[in-house]
């Protein structure tokens, strides 16, 4: 079901610029960091059954230092056609929003998305989907020069990767090994705000 005009305009206001067909999709910064910090804080007693106190402490300390700054002047680079700072809903929500706001299709390899081992391990123990986990401090962008931008981001100490590309049409495909599925529209409250969730 397509968004109404008012909802589409509100969505477009969240995105800087627009994606174009045939562009690279780049993720800057590891996904799920802010959500992992919330999980460690909220579920510490449960996590102590699986991890040492030092692992949890070091994970919190390391993750706090990994968030990408919104104030970095790199985001003004003219080679970037569209930009979105992911927060609630995580990377999958960000991909859907950018594609919907721009009217393009997507082809994404989930295995290319940067993610820290701490996030993977915590999410596995708590049965949380890391791709739907809150990801404040991660940037999703579209560009015609993905490899060049990734190299420059890495040189600045920001882990980044080309995770896929945009297409004409409406198909939004997610690949993980031999499995391919369609990117689902995020779920919203009646208020219009996105539901917070991390389950698959």
Domains in the chain (CATH in brackets) are 5-182 (3.90.650.10)
Q: How far apart are CA 30 and CA 86, in angstroms?
A: 11
In the sheet with 160-167, reading across from the earlier edge strand, the strands are: 16-17, 80-86, 138-143, 24-28, 160-167, 105-109, 172-176, 179-182
pLDDT > 90? residue 153: yes
pLDDT > 90? residue 199: no
- How far CA 108 is from CA of 41, 86, 97, 140, in Å, comes to 31, 16, 14, 12
Nearest to 28 by CA among 165, 145, 149, 139: 139
Q: What is the pLDDT of residues 29-70, one digit of tens each?
A: 999 999 999 999 999 999 999 999 999 988 888 888 888 888
Q: How far apart are CA 68 and CA 80, in angstroms?
A: 16
> How many helices and strands in the chain, by DSSP H and E?
7, 8
Q: How far apart are CA 141 and CA 26, in angstroms?
A: 5
Nearest to 158 by CA among 54, 29, 12: 29
Task: Kindly give the residue spans of alpha helices, DSSP state H, lying in the chain.
Answer: 5-14, 33-42, 44-47, 53-64, 90-102, 117-126, 146-155
Q: How far apart are CA 169 and CA 119, in angstroms?
A: 33
pLDDT > 90: percent of the chain: 74
pLDDT > 70: percent of the chain: 92
CB 148 within 8 A of CB 24: no
Confidence of residue 9 (pLDDT cuts 50, 70, 90): confident
Q: How far apart are CA 42 and CA 149, in angstroms?
A: 36
Predicted model pTM: 0.88
The CA-CA-CA angle for residues 26, 15, 30, to 5°, reads 35
């Amino acid at each position: 079901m397509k968004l109404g005009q008012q909802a589409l305009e509100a969505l477009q206001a969240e995105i800087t610029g627009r994606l174009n067909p045939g562009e690279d999709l780049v993720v800057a910064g590891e996904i799920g960091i802010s959500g992992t910090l919330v999980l460690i804080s909220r579920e510490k007693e449960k996590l102590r059954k699986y991890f040492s106190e030092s692992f949890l402490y070091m994970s919190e300390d390391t993750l706090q230092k990994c968030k990408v700054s919104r104030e970095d002047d790199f985001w003004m680079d003219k080679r970037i056609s569209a930009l979105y700072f992911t927060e609630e809903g995580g990377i999958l929500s960000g991909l859907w929003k950018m594609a919907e706001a721009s009217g393009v299709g997507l082809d994404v390899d989930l295995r290319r998305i940067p993610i820290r081992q701490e996030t993977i391990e915590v999410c596995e123990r708590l049965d949380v989907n890391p791709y739907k986990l809150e990801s404040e401090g991660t940037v999703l962008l579209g560009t015609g020069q993905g490899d060049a931008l990734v190299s420059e981001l890495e040189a600045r100490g920001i882990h980044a990767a080309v995770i896929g590309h945009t297409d004409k049409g409406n198909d939004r495909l997610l690949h993980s090994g031999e499995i391919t599925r369609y990117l689902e529209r995020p779920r919203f409250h009646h208020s219009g705000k996105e539901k917070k969730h991390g389950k698959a």
